[in-house]
């Protein structure tokens, strides 16, 4: 009997983690009063991207993401990911990378289509304001 878990366990764990992060970022507070609005959170990008990352990220975005998110990130069938919107939902680049890598809901997985450098680069491009 092998003690290592199958690959799908890791994917399931990453998917659950990204879902929990999305719920936390959206202000889900369990049994809180829905009449009370949560105070807005101001987030700042703390991970500077290298210029090479941005050019790779832009290339990947234009090839893989534009069909759902539009050139400016305003969304077509995918959600609006323009500056402010995406940073409010995903506080860290790591959380966004999990989403891009494994997908969630309508968001397809890109782990089988993009390598780690491309995933990190497209996340840096989006987090950097799509340009």
Give the tens place of pLDDT for each residue, 17-57.
Answer: 545 444 444 443 344 443 443 433 333 333 455 656 789 99
Whole-prediction pTM: 0.62
Fold of 47-131: Cytochrome Bc1 Complex; Chain D, domain 2 (1.10.760)
Give the tens place of pLDDT for each residue, 87-100.
Answer: 888 889 999 999 99
Positive or negative, the CA dihedral 128, 79, 30, 11 is: negative
Q: Which of 51, 38, 131, 30 is nearest to 88 (CA)?
A: 38
Which residue do the tokens 């809180």 mark?
A: 32
Q: What is the SS3 assignment for 56-105?
A: HHHHHHHHHHHHHHCCCCCCCCCCCCCCCHHHHHCCCHHHHHHHHHHCEC
Which residue do the tokens 């500056």 mark?
A: 83
Which residue do the tokens 């891009």 mark?
A: 100
Dist CA 37 CA 69 (whole Å): 28
Q: What is the mean pLDDT of the chain?
A: 73
The tokens describing 27, both together, are 């202000």
CB distance 95 to 72 below 8 Å = no
Q: Which of 131, 26, 39 is nearest to 85 (CA)?
A: 26
């Amino acid at each position: 009997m092998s003690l290592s878990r199958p690959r799908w366990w890791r994917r399931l764990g990453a998917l659950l983690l990204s879902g929990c992060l999305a719920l936390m970022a959206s202000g889900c507070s369990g049994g809180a009063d829905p009449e009370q609005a949560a105070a807005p959170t101001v987030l700042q990008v703390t991970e500077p991207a290298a210029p090479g990352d941005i050019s790779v990220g832009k290339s990947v975005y234009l090839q893989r993401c534009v069909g759902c998110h539009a050139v400016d990130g305003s969304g077509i069938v995918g959600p609006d990911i323009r500056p402010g919107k995406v940073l409010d939902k995903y506080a860290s680049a790591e959380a966004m990378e999990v989403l891009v890598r494994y997908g969630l809901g309508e968001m397809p997985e890109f782990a089988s289509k993009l390598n780690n450098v491309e995933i990190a680069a497209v996340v840096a491009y989006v987090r950097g304001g799509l340009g």
